[in-house]
Structure 1
Amino acid sequence: MIELFETYRRQIIYAVTVVISVIVLHFVTNFIHKWLVKKEQEKFPEERATPLNLVKQVLNALWLVLGLIALSFLFVEEEKYAVLTKNFNIVLYLGFLAVITIVAASSTNLWFRKSIRKKIANQNDPTSFKFLRYIAVFGVYFVGILFGLLAYPSLKGVAQTALGGAGVIALIAGVASQEALANLVGGVFIISFKPFKIGDTIKITDSMVGIVIDITLRHTIIRNFENKMIVIPNSIINKEKLVNYDLGELKCCEHVEIGISYDSNIVLAKKIMQEECEAHPLILDNRTEWEKNDDAKPMVKTAVIRMNDSSITVRAWAWSKSFGDSFQLKCDVLESIKNRFDSEGIEIPFPYRTVVIKDTSKKQPS
C-alpha cells in the first residue's frame, strides 16, 4: 500500500486536491447563495429568489464538470492535454458567461419592475416600461447567447456579425417565424400608437370584454369580468376593431331598453323609465348649461325606437361617469323599472303560443 502511494504520490495528491477544491467551491457557493437570498428577502420581500437559485445550480454544475475534466488528466496521455485544456477553458468560459448573463438579465428586470411600481405609485402609465422590460431582458439573453457562440470556431463568424449589428435583423428574420415577427411588430405598434394601455377596459367582441393586464412581445392579456385571462396574439389584436372605454372621455351612455305590450300606455312607460334613471345615484347630467335651463330637455331622454311583432321597444339614454358605473346603473334601473311597471300596470309581453290539437280518432266516411 505504501509502495503504491509512493509510486502514484503525485497523482493521488492531485486527485485529492481536485476533489477537495470541488467540495469547497460547492460549500462556498451554497453559503453565499443562502446569504444573498436572506439579504434579498430583507431588501425586496416581494421578489422571488429564482435567479439566485439558477445561478447556484449553474455554478455547482460548473464546479462538478470542471472537476471531472481536471481528473481526466490523470487517465489520458500527455498528447491529449491540449484538447482537455481547451475543453476546460470552454466550459469555464460558458459557465461564467451564463452566470453573468443571468445576473445582468435579473438586474435589468429588477430595475424595470421597480420603475414600473414607482410609475404606478405616481399614477403614471407603466405600459411602455412593461413592454421595454421584455425587450431589454430578451436583449441581454440574446447577447449572452451570441457571446457563447464565440467559443465555437465554426459559429464565431455568425456571432461576430450579429454582435457587430449588421446581421441582427437578418439573423432574427432567418430564425424566427413570420407569425412571431408579426406579433413582435404588432406589440411595437401597440406601444407606439397606444390604442390602449395597461389598465384600460376594452371590448373586442361581445365575449371579449375586460381590463388589459399585460402587453408582452408576443401577446396581450385581458382579464374579463369573470376573472378569466384572455390571451390574444399582438398580430391579431393589432388588426381588430376594438372599443376602448378609457380612451378620451370616460363618461359613457348606456342604452336601457325594455319592450312593452301594444296595449300599454307608452307615455307612462317613458315617464317611469325617465324617473327611475334620473333617481339613480350614478346618473350623470350630460346636458349643456343651456339645455339645463330648458324644461323641454330632460336629463334622461326616452323614445320609442322599434315596433316589433308583439312589443314596442322603449329606450332611455342614461349617462354615467364611466363604463363600470354605466353597467351598474343599467342593472339597477332594469330591476326598479320592472317593479314600477308591475305596480303601474305596464305589461312586458312574453311569447304566446296557441296549440291546436287535431282529433284523428274519428274515421272519415268512406
Structure 2
Amino acid sequence: MIEFFEDYQYEIIYIIVTIISVVALRFLTNFIQKRALKRSVEKLHYQSDGTLKTVRRILNTLWLVLGIIAIALLFVSPEVNKTLIDNSKFIIYSAIVTISTVVLASTTNKWFKWKVNKKNDEHDDPTSLKFLRYIAIGAIYTSGVLLILLVLPGFKGVAQTVLGGAGVIAVIAGIASQEALGNIVSGLFIVSFKPFRIGDIIQIEGGMTGTVTDITLRHTVIQNFENQMIVVPNSVINKEKLINYKSVDKRICERLEIGISYDSDIDLARKIMTEEAEKHPLLIEKRTLKEIKDKVPKVPVKVIRLDSSAVILRLYAWTANPDDGWTLRYDLLESIKKRFDKEGVEIPFPQQTVHFKKPLFKEE
C-alpha cells in the first residue's frame, strides 16, 4: 500500500486537489447565489425570476464537467489529452456565452416589464412594448445560440451565413411560406394598426369573447368571462371579423328579444318590458333633446318577427359600457319573466300537432 502511494503520489494528490477544488467552487457558487438572492429581496425588494438559480446550475455543472476532464487527463494518451483540452475550452466558452445570454435576456425582460408597468400607471397603451419584448428576448437567445455554433466546425459556416445580412434575407425567404412567419407578420400588423390592444374586450366571429391579455410573436391570448385562456394564432385573428367593445364611445345598445304567445296582449307585454328596463339603474339616456321633446320612447320595444309559435318583441336599451350591458340583460330576463308570469303574458314553447291520415290501430 505504501509502495502504491509512493508510485502514484502525484496522481493521488492531483485527484484529491481536483475534487476539493470542485467541491469548493460549487460551495462558493451556491453561497454567492444565496447571498445575492437575499440581498435583492432585502435591498431592492425584488423577487428573483429564476436567473440566479439558472446561473448557479450552469456554473455547478461547469465545475463538475471540468473536474471530470481534469481527472481524465491522467489516464488518456497525449492525442486524447489534446482533444479533452480543446473540448474543455469549448465548454468554458459555451458556459460564458450561455450565462451572458441568460443575464442579458433577464435584464432586458425586467426593463420591458418596468416600462410596461409605467405605461399602465400612466393609463397608457403597453401593447407595443409587450410585443417588442418578445422580439428582443428572442433575438438575444438566437444570438447566443449562433455564437456557440460559431466555434463548432460543422456549424461555423452556417452560423456565419445566418449572422450576415445576406444570410438573414435568405433565411426569411426560405421560411416565408411557413406558418411561423405568418404569425409574426400578423402580430406586427396587429401591433402597428391596433384593431385591438391589451386590455380590450373583443368578440371574434364564432362567439369567442374576452379580454386581450397578451400579444406574443405567435399568438394572441384572450381571457374569457369563465376565466379560461383562449389562445388564437395571430394569422387567424388577423383575418377574423371581430367586435372591439372598448372603442372610443363605450356606450352600447343592448337588444333583448323575447317571444310571447299569439294569445297574449302585445301592448301589455311592451309596457312590462319598457317599465322593467326604465327602472334599471344601469340604463342611460341616449335620446337627443329633440327626441325627448317629440316623446320618443327611452326604451323602444318593437315587434320584429312572427314566428311559428311566438310573436318576437325586441327591446333596445342603452348602457354605459359592455359590462353594464350584460348585467342589464341578465337582470331584465329575470324581472320580465316574473312580471309576465304575474300579469298573464305567456312565453310559449314550440309545439307541433301531428295528424294521421290512417288510424294507428284498426277497430275490431
CA distance in 2, matches of 1:273, 1:306: 17
CA distance in 2, matches of 1:41, 1:176: 45
CA distance in 1, matches of 2:241, 2:23: 62
* Map of 2:178 onto structure 1: 178
Contact 1:211 1:222 in 2 (8 A): yes
How far is the alpha carbon of 1:17 from its aligned partner?
Answer: 2.6
* Map of 2:315 onto structure 1: 316
Please identify runs of 4+ aligned residues in structure 1 that moved more than 6 A: none
Q: Deviations over 1:37-93 (max 9, x none)?
A: 222333566744422221111111111111111222212233444322211111110
Gaps of 5+ in 1: none
Cα 1:101–1:346 shift into 2, 3 Å: same
2:285 aligns to what SS in structure 1? coil
How far is the alpha carbon of 1:346 from its aligned partner?
Answer: 2.4
How far is the alpha carbon of 1:209 from its aligned partner?
Answer: 1.1
CA distance in 1, matches of 2:32, 2:193: 46
1:40 aligns to what SS in structure 2? helix
* Map of 1:276 onto structure 2: 276
2:342 aligns to what SS in structure 1? helix
Contact 1:219 1:233 in 2 (8 A): yes
Task: Give the aligned residue type for 1:263.
Answer: D
CA distance in 1, matches of 2:69, 2:175: 34
1:287 aligns to what SS in structure 2? coil
Gaps of 5+ in 2: none
CA distance in 1, matches of 2:176, 2:3: 63
CA distance in 2, matches of 1:184, 1:219: 9
How far is the alpha carbon of 1:351 from its aligned partner?
Answer: 3.0
CA distance in 2, matches of 1:193, 1:316: 35
Q: Select between 219-228 and 266-275 the one with higher mean Cα deviation.
A: 266-275
CA distance in 1, matches of 2:267, 2:109: 63
How far is the alpha carbon of 1:174 from its aligned partner?
Answer: 4.3
Task: Give the aligned residue type for 2:338.
Answer: N
CA distance in 2, matches of 1:39, 1:170: 47
Q: Deviations over 1:146-188 (max 9, x none)?
A: 1101111332222223333332243355479711111111111
Cα 1:176–1:101 shift into 2, 3 Å: farther
Q: Deviations over 1:228-283 (max 9, x none)?
A: 11111111111111111112321111111111222222223222222221111101
CA distance in 2, matches of 1:304, 1:31: 77
Q: Select between 218-227 and 257-266 the one with higher mean Cα deviation.
A: 257-266
How far is the alpha carbon of 1:344 from its aligned partner?
Answer: 3.0
Task: Give the aligned residue type for 2:200.
Answer: D
1:52 aligns to what SS in structure 2? helix
Task: Give the aligned residue type for 2:159.
Answer: A
Q: How much is the aligned-residue C-alpha RMSD, in angstroms?
A: 2.3
Q: Deviations over 1:119-166 (max 9, x none)?
A: 222222221111111111111100000110111133222222333333
Contact 2:40 2:46 in 1 (8 A): no
- TM-score (normalised: structure 1): 0.91
Contact 1:274 1:301 in 2 (8 A): yes
1:67 aligns with 2:67: yes
- TM-score (normalised: structure 2): 0.91
Contact 2:176 2:182 in 1 (8 A): no
Contact 2:175 2:181 in 1 (8 A): no
Aligned length: 362
CA distance in 2, matches of 1:81, 1:264: 98
* Map of 2:41 onto structure 1: 41
Cα 1:47–1:125 shift into 2, 3 Å: farther
Pairwise mapping of residues 181-200 of structure 1 onto structure 2 (< 5 A)?
A: 181-200=181-200
